[in-house]
């Protein structure tokens, strides 16, 4: 029984290492994590941030013309913002939850037999 528990713990650790990839711990004592978004250069990063700020400004006060007065291009690239949000979704971790769910269902079925 003890050996079986160790094997299961190791299997569990391997699953965690394989799937928990969206956030990574910061190497300090704050207990913080980082999430990564991929951009091709500083211009794209600036473009992403600018569009997020424009969208937030518009959401806060949709009747104001502040956005168009402060920016040369007042259009908002919603598709770009959604792509960034998609990068932040913890898809690997969701897949991990599916694996755990399968393990639990299998375990419950074997106990019922």
- Confidence at residue 5, expressed as pLDDT on a 0 to 100 scale: 38
- For the entire predicted model, the pTM comes to 0.61
Q: What are phi and psi of 100, to 5 degrees?
A: -65, -45
Summarised one tens digit per residue, pLDDT across range 10-66 is: 878 887 888 888 988 898 889 899 999 999 999 999 999 999 999 888 888 766 555
Averaged pLDDT, 64-83: 72
How many Å separate Cα 48 from the centre of its chain?
17
Q: 63: which DSSP letter? A: T
Nearest one of 90, 100, 104 to 15, comparing CA atoms: 100
């Amino acid at each position: 029984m003890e050996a079986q528990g160790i094997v299961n713990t190791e299997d569990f650790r391997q699953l965690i290492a394989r799937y928990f990839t969206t956030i990574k711990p910061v190497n300090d004592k704050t207990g913080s994590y980082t999430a990564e978004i991929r951009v091709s250069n500083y211009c794209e990063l600036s473009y992403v941030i600018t569009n997020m700020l424009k969208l937030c400004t518009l959401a806060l006060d949709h009747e104001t013309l502040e956005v168009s007065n402060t920016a040369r291009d007042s259009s908002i690239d919603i598709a770009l913002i959604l792509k960034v949000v998609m990068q932040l979704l913890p898809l690997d971790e969701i897949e991990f939850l599916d694996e755990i769910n399968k393990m639990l269902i299998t375990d419950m079925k074997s106990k019922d037999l």
